[in-house]
Amino acid sequence: MWSEHLDVVNVGLAGFGDNIRDAGGSVTTLDWRPPALGDPGTALALARIAGHPEIERANQVAFERYLSAQPVLTDVMPAGEAIPAMAGERLILHSGPPIAWDRMAGPVKGAIAGAIVFEGWAPTPEKAAELAASGEISFSPAHHHGAVGPMAGVISPSMPVWVVRDATSGRLAYSNFNEGLGKVLRFGANGPEVLERLRWMSTELAQALRPAVQRLDGLELKPLIGQALHMGDEVHNRNAAATGLLLKRLLPALIATGPDNAVLSRAAEFITGNDHFFLNVSMAACKAMLDAAAGVPHSSMVTAMARNGVNFGIRVSGTGDRWFQAPANPVDGLFFPGYGVADAAPDLGDSAITETAGLGGFAMAASPAIVKFVGGTPADATAHSRRMREITLGVNPVFTLPALDFGASAAGIDVRSVVDTGIQPVINTGIAHKEAGVGQIGAGVTTAPLPCFTQAVDALADGLGLAAGAAA
**What is the CATH code for 70-284?**
3.90.1710.10
Q: What is the pLDDT, as a whole number, of residue 348?
A: 92
CA 162 to CA 181: how far, in whole Å? 19
CA 114 to CA 129: how far, in whole Å? 9
Q: Answer for the pair 278, 243: CB distance below 8 angstroms, yes or no.
A: yes
Q: What is the pLDDT, as a whole number, of residue 472?
A: 47
pLDDT band at 1 (very low <50, low <70, confident <90, very high): very low
Number of Cα atoms under 13 Å in the Cβ half of residue 122? 21
Global pTM reads 0.92
CA 430 to CA 123: how far, in whole Å? 29
Q: What is the per-residue pLDDT across 224-278, written as a single tens digit (0 to 9) for each?
A: 999 999 999 999 999 999 999 999 999 999 999 988 999 999 999 999 999 999 9
Q: Strand ranges (DSSP E) for 185-262?
A: 219-220
CATH 3.90.1710.10 in the chain is located at 70-284
> CA-CA distances (angstroms) from residue 322 to 91, 252, 415, 455?
21, 44, 14, 11
Shortest CA distance to 71 belongs to which of 189, 312, 235, 272?
Answer: 235
Q: What is the pLDDT, as a whole number, of residue 455?
A: 97
Better pLDDT: 25 or 138? 138
161's enclosing H/E stretch is: strand 160-166
CATH 3.90.1700.10 in the chain is located at 40-66+293-463
Pairing, β 91-94 against β 71-78? unpaired
Shortest CA distance to 445 belongs to which of 333, 296, 311?
Answer: 333
> Could you give the angle at which helices 240-256 and 221-229 cross, rounded to 10 degrees?
140
pLDDT band at 375 (very low <50, low <70, confident <90, very high): confident
Shortest CA distance to 343 belongs to which of 432, 445, 443?
Answer: 432
CA 262 to CA 260: how far, in whole Å? 6
**What is the CATH code for 40-66+293-463?**
3.90.1700.10
DSSP letter (8 states) at residue 317: G
Shortest CA distance to 334 belongs to which of 449, 446, 431?
Answer: 431
430's enclosing H/E stretch is: strand 426-432
